[in-house]
Chain A
Amino acid sequence: MLEIKNIHKSFGDNIVLNGIDLKIEKGDVVVVLGPSGSGKTTLLRCINFLEKADQGQAIFGDTQVDLKKASKKQIYSIRKRTAFVFQNYNLFNNKTALENVTEGLIIGRKMTKEEANKIGKDALDKVGLFEKYDAYPGELSGGQQQRVGIARAVSLNPDIILFDEPTSALDPELVGEVLEVMKTIAKEGTTMLVVTHEMSFAKDVANRVIFMDGGVIVEEGPPNEFFQHPKEERTQRFLKRVLPEDYIYNI
């Protein structure tokens, strides 16, 4: 359904993505792991054109787009098929929770306000914020803000939702509620590409795990295999660092 071919991206001399290929089927939940600076965020940003790749193709169903030379029109059409959940939520601070969700529907998708409000309320209900339609971001906790961010993405009914470390800006006690919401929408069949450091989410929810390092995909596989029998030495070293307790048993 979504295929990414040979993405390259450098910032000056710093080669961040060095030929990434990725194929995601409908309903897949793909988790991307990797050390800090390995280019995970950049990968997601290139897919959504928040960053312009130096080279690469994206194939969405029957449309193929050159990530470097895409026209404005192509960019809008890809953005219609994707949604982004940001590490820092990036909610519109001058809009209520409901308006945050409906903004893209009304302005971007040209829906009527009634239609948009209905979809928006459903989305907020789904993430457990049925009492917070009219709250401004400044009045919400981090976990609630991120759930609005997820509702905003879900309401667009995209082919795929891109998550960039959705819980890493949260206080530890708020991480659970956000992961729970992500789990729910994953169960409903939402296609997701998730960068996260939450290994439990990768193990329990993902059907594929990808390990990136040095701008390339080092290893990928189903979570069971990936966590219990990592093949590459770089993967083993990474897992040993992030999962010291588990890893000891598996050796």
Chain B
Amino acid sequence: MSNGLDFEFLIDTFFVALTGVPVAILITVVSLAIALPLGFILALTRINKMLVLNQFSRVYVSFVRGTPVIVQIFIIYNSVPLLLASIFEKYNIQMDVYDVNPIWYALIVFSLNTTATLIEVFRSAINTVSKGQLEAAHSVGLTTVQAFRRIIVPQTLVVALPNICNATVNLIKATSLGYAMSLPEITLKAQVAANASYNYIEAYLDIFIIYLIICSLVEYLFKRLEKRLRKYQIAPTA
């Protein structure tokens, strides 16, 4: 071990760590699938200053952004089982709360977290699409829903895409914190492999490379998507 890197271990562990990729991706995809529409809708409540919901979104965003993800994980991971246990007891459900797959906790934490980020992303993006276009759509006979679907949302998405990309990359990286709740993702798998032989450097190098590859790939895909969607230039608003 003191003779430099153990290449065999490096390569073996690379493949072990790779088996954690599906979990990381599953969590990323599901969290985004929840956070994208939810974030958009809550952004609208903020822009239209809808009573209660607007306040709720504001407080929610400041809570989530004002605390480290790892702390959120600890809180959810430790408090939800207690909550569940008391519910199970009350309704006489025969199930051990500690059998719950940590993926569920991860999904809760990361969906909540990404939603908060995307509320702010969409809020600023929607504001760049002028209210005048909504009025123009109304004036030519579109309903509000049609106007949003055909005019506002497509433009909002293009404007928001770079920030959605950032949020996605941050989310992928944040899934590595899942090891704190025994989530069998990339970091945990590699670490477990290293625990036996103390080849931590090799294991961390593997993790490093895997995240780098995934995140670069995601950024590349977003760039492609942005090019496809942005057929038009943003007109200077008069």
Contacts and interface: CB of A to CB of B under 8 A. Distances in A.
A227 interface: no
Contact of A109 (B141, B146, B154): B141
Contact of B139 (A48, A88, A95, A96): A48
Interface of A is mostly: loop
Contacts of B231: 136
A153 B237 CA distance: 20
Interface in B154-204: 154-155, 158
Interface string B115-142: 0000000000000011011011111111
B212 interface: no
Given A93-B155, A103-B142, A104-B141, A86 B135 contact: yes
Contacts of A94: 151, 154-155, 158, 232
Interface size class of A (residues with CB under 8 A): 35 or more
Nearest to B231: A136
Interface in A63-92: 76, 79-80, 82-84, 86-92
B233 interface: yes
Interface in B25-60: none
A86 B151 contact: no
Nearest to A152: B140
Contact of B141 (A79, A86, A95, A140): A79
A84 B136 contact: yes
Interface size class of B (residues with CB under 8 A): 20 to 34
A136 B136 contact: no
Contacts of B237: 88
A136 B142 CA distance: 20
B138 A79 contact: yes
Interface string B81-119: 000000000000000000000000000000000000000
A87 B238 CA distance: 9
Contact of A107 (B135, B142, B235): B142
B135 A50 contact: yes
A94 to B, nearest CB: 5
Nearest to A76: B141
B238 A156 contact: no
B236 interface: yes
B139 A83 contact: yes
A14 B75 CA distance: 51
B135 A90 contact: yes
A222 interface: no
B227 interface: no
A50 B138 contact: yes
Given A94-B151, A103-B142, A86 B132 contact: yes
A48 B138 CA distance: 9
A41 B23 CA distance: 56
A104 B142 contact: yes
Contact of B235 (A76, A82, A91, A103): A91
A107 B238 contact: no
Nearest to A102: B140
Given A93-B133, A156-B141, 8 more contacts: A76-B141, A79-B138, A88-B238, A91-B136, A91-B235, A103-B140, A136-B231, A142-B238
8 contacts: A82-B139, A84-B135, A84-B136, A86-B136, A93-B234, A94-B155, A138-B236, A169-B238
